[in-house]
Structure 1
C-alpha cells in the first residue's frame, strides 16, 4: 500500500520521523509523494498550535525553534521583537488578554506605565534595557519588558529597538535560534546545521555572558551540539551548514515555510533585508599578523605582488572581503 492511500494520522506517524532534508527529498520522488508531503506541511506547520499556549483560542527564538522542529517545549517562553514606537500597542494588548507586567528586581520602572513612558535607553538599567550590557545581541535594544500569566504559567518578553528588530537576530548567542517569523512566512537562517542529521549550533564568539552559558546548556540538553569552530566544508560550498557571503532573508540557504491559514494580507518587506557573513581559517603562524598588516596598508595593487602562496587559499576570501569593504 502506498503512503498516499493511508489516513493523515498514519502519514504524520511516518513523516514525523523524517528530517526536513529527508522530507524534501521524499517529496521530489513523484507527484503522489509531493502531494502527501505538501498536505503534511499544511497540517503540521500550523502556527496556531503553538500560539494557543500563550494566547488561548483567540519574534521569538524557542517558539520558532519548536515550530521548525515540530516539537513543543513545555517550559519555553515567547520573545516578541518590535520597533520601540509600537511598544505601547503590544504591551496594552497583552495586558488586555490577561498578562501582567513583571518588573525586573533592579528596575526603577515599577509599573507598566512608567516603563512605557521611557523614550530611550536607560544606561546600565539591567532588566529594562541591555543596550549597554554585556550581551552583544541586545546592543540595539531599548526596553525588555516581561509579562506573565498564571494557571498555567506563561511568560512573554517584549524586546524593543529603535531600528529594525531583525538586526538583533545575527547577534543571537548561537545559530540554532536564528529563526524569525512574519505575518505570512517563517524563516530559518541555518536549517542544514540546525535541523539536519548532526543538529549543530555555532556559537557567537562575541557573546560570553553568564546568561549565554546557561542558554548553551539548555540547548545542549535538547540535543543540539554547541560548537565554537568550523572547518572549510562547513562554510564553503553549496551544501555548507554555516554558509557565508552575502545573505538575505528568504535566500536559497534559508528554509522558508508559508504560514497557514493564509490571512490574505499584503506582502511585507522582510526579504529586502540582507547582511554579510564571513568565516576564515587561521593557521598557527607567527608571521600571519605581520603579513595581514602589510597587505592592508599597501592596498589592492601593492598587496597583489606581496601575497605569499602559503596563505593564498586560506585567506583569499579574507582579502576579497577586505578590499570590497574598504578599498
Structure 2
C-alpha cells in the first residue's frame, strides 16, 4: 500500500468526523498508525495555549492547573476538540475562590495586566479580597445604588459564579471566572451542551461528544430559561458556527449503548470523549473525575436540566458536584477510613488532601455507582426499548397535529429503563413486555404505555409496595405501567388519568 505524505494524510484525516476516524483506524494496522499519528499531532494543548503563553509559561501553567484545579473551558476547549480556530476568542479559565489568588499572581508575574470592570477595585488583590469578604447580592445592590451597573458584567453573575477577572497582555485577554464553590458547578450551568468541554492539567474531556461533534446539536440548558441578551447572543453565535439548538434530545438518544444523555453521568465515564495530554511532568491523578451529575428535563418546558449538589469538606482541596446517584455519605466514610489509614502509616502532612491522593480510587467508585447495569437482562430491555422508540414512535410524526405533540424525551427513556430493570430483578424467570403509545388529547403529550407480564408468583408486601411506587414514579415521566398480578393497583392509578394505559 502506497502511503501519502504526512501533510496529505493529515488533510484527509482532519476532514473526517471523530466517529469516522475511529472506524478508519479499525481497518488495519496501517490505518490505525495513521490515525494515531494524526491524533498525537493534532490534539496538543499547546496549540490553544500558544497565543497566550510561551513554552516555559505553558509548562508552569499546567502545573498551576494541577495545584489549583483550574480548568480551561468555553470556546477554547471546543476549538481543541473540533480542531478549529475562532478568531477574536478569549482564553476562559475556571477556578474556585480558594485558589484564585495563586492563579492571578502567576498571570501578573508573567506580564499580564489586571483590567478591572468599572465597579471592581483597581488592584487584583484588592478586588479579590472584596469578592471573598463581601456578600454577592449586597454588592449588586450597592452597584445599582451607586449607578455602577454594567450589563456585560452582570450577565456573568449567578449560576455559581462569584466574579470574573480580566487579564490582558499584547492584545490577548484571559478571563478568570471565579466559582463560588467549584468550577464544574459553573460549567454545568453553561447555556448549552456544545460548550461543556473541559481541559484539566492532564486530560481533555468532552461531556457530550456525540451530540456536539457528530450530530452537531446543542441542547439548551434550562438554567438560562429567563434569558438575558448575552446568553441568547451566545447561542446564536454557536448556531452560526454550525450547531442546531434544541431543547432536549429524543428518547431514543438515551437508549444508545453509551448514552451521554442518560440520567447518571460522571466526568470521564464511557460516554465522555477523553484525550490524555502528554507532558514531561508526572502529575498525580485527576480529581476532576470525582464530579458527577444527572441529566433530567423540566416537567413543563422539556428543556435539559443538569442536576447535582455541590459538596465541600475540610479534608478536600476542591469542591465537587455530586449527583443523586452518588452516595456522598459513603464517600465521606471512605475519607474517614483513608484518614485513619494514613494516620497509622504516618503519611499525612499539612498540605495533603484526600481528593488528590486518592482521586483515582474515589472516581472509580463514583463511575461504578453511576454506570448503567450491563447484565444480559438489562441489555435485552435496552435493545427492546430502543427498537420501540426508533421504529414505532415515528408514526405519530405523520399526524396532522404532529407539530403540537410533545414526544418522549431522554429522561423518559432513562427512567423507564432503570425501573424496568428493577422490576426484572424482583422476579425469577423471564418477563414479557408490550409497548404502545397514546396521545393525550388534552395536553398533547405522547404517553409510553408498558404492560409487564411476570411469571405467576406471589409478591411480598415490600415488593408489592415497590411496584406501586414505580408505577407512581413513572407516571411523572408520562409512562403508563401495568404489571400483571397487580391489577388492583394499576386500576387505581389509571382512574386518575384516562391515558395511563
Q: Give the TM-score range, shorter chain.
A: 0.7 to 0.9
- CA contact 2:159–2:185 (8 Å) conserved in 1: no
Instruction: Quote the residue 1:249 is aligned against.
Output: 267
Instruction: Quote the residue 1:143 is aligned against.
Output: 163
Instruction: Quote the residue 2:20 is aligned against.
Output: 22
CA shift in 2, pair 1:313/1:60, >3 Å: closer
Out of 465, 474, 482, the residue aligned to residue 301 of structure 1 is 465
TM-score (norm 2): 0.54
Between the aligned partners of 1:162 and 1:287, the Cα distance in structure 2 is: 40
Alignment of 1:44 with 2:42, yes or no, is yes
CA shift in 2, pair 1:32/1:206, >3 Å: same
The residue correspondences of 1:280-319 to structure 2 (distance < 5 A) are 281=408, 286=442, 301=465, 304=468, 307=471, 314-315=478-479
Shift of 1:56: 2.9
Between the aligned partners of 1:8 and 1:306, the Cα distance in structure 2 is: 57
Alignment of 1:272 with 2:294, yes or no, is no
RMSD value over aligned CA atoms?
3.3
Alignment of 1:61 with 2:225, yes or no, is no
Out of 8, 30, 33, the residue aligned to residue 32 of structure 1 is 30
CA shift in 2, pair 1:234/1:88, >3 Å: same
Between the aligned partners of 1:129 and 1:178, the Cα distance in structure 2 is: 26
Between the aligned partners of 1:268 and 1:239, the Cα distance in structure 2 is: 22
What secondary structure, in the 3-state scheme, does the structure 2 residue paired with 1:79 have? Answer: strand
Gaps of 5+ in 1: 290-299, 318-327
Out of 81, 98, 105, the residue aligned to residue 92 of structure 1 is 105
Instruction: Quote the residue 1:122 is aligned against.
Output: 136
Structure 1, 13-22 or 25-34: larger mean CA deviation: 25-34
- CA contact 1:122–1:129 (8 Å) conserved in 2: no
Out of 175, 181, 186, the residue aligned to residue 193 of structure 2 is 175
Between the aligned partners of 2:88 and 2:173, the Cα distance in structure 1 is: 9
TM-score (norm 1): 0.80
Between the aligned partners of 2:99 and 2:149, the Cα distance in structure 1 is: 16
Between the aligned partners of 1:11 and 1:18, the Cα distance in structure 2 is: 11
CA shift in 2, pair 1:250/1:26, >3 Å: same
Between the aligned partners of 1:303 and 1:236, the Cα distance in structure 2 is: 23
The residue correspondences of 1:160-239 to structure 2 (distance < 5 A) are 160-196=178-214, 198-207=215-224, 208-238=227-257
CA shift in 2, pair 1:183/1:218, >3 Å: same
Between the aligned partners of 2:55 and 2:149, the Cα distance in structure 1 is: 30
Structure 1, 248-257 or 24-33: larger mean CA deviation: 24-33
Structure 1, 269-278 or 187-196: larger mean CA deviation: 269-278
RCO greater where, 1 or 2, for CA within 8 Å and sep 6 or more? Answer: 1
Instruction: Quote the residue 1:297 is aligned against.
Output: none
Between the aligned partners of 1:187 and 1:262, the Cα distance in structure 2 is: 20
Shift of 1:36: 1.4
Between the aligned partners of 2:40 and 2:470, the Cα distance in structure 1 is: 57
Instruction: Quote the residue 1:325 is aligned against.
Output: none
Between the aligned partners of 1:249 and 1:30, the Cα distance in structure 2 is: 31
1:49-86: CA deviations, max 9, x gaps? 11010113332211000000011112111111112111
Shift of 1:129: 12
Between the aligned partners of 1:64 and 1:284, the Cα distance in structure 2 is: 43
CA shift in 2, pair 1:48/1:143, >3 Å: same
What secondary structure, in the 3-state scheme, does the structure 2 residue paired with 1:238 have? Answer: coil
Shift of 1:103: 1.5
CA shift in 2, pair 1:128/1:302, >3 Å: farther
Out of 92, 95, 98, the residue aligned to residue 79 of structure 1 is 92
CA shift in 2, pair 1:12/1:288, >3 Å: closer
Instruction: Quote the residue 2:11 is aligned against.
Output: 13
Shift of 1:307: 4.7
Shift of 1:209: 2.0
Shift of 1:314: 4.0
- CA contact 1:129–1:143 (8 Å) conserved in 2: no
- CA contact 1:129–1:144 (8 Å) conserved in 2: no
Runs of at least 4 residues off by over 6 Å: 126-130, 133-136
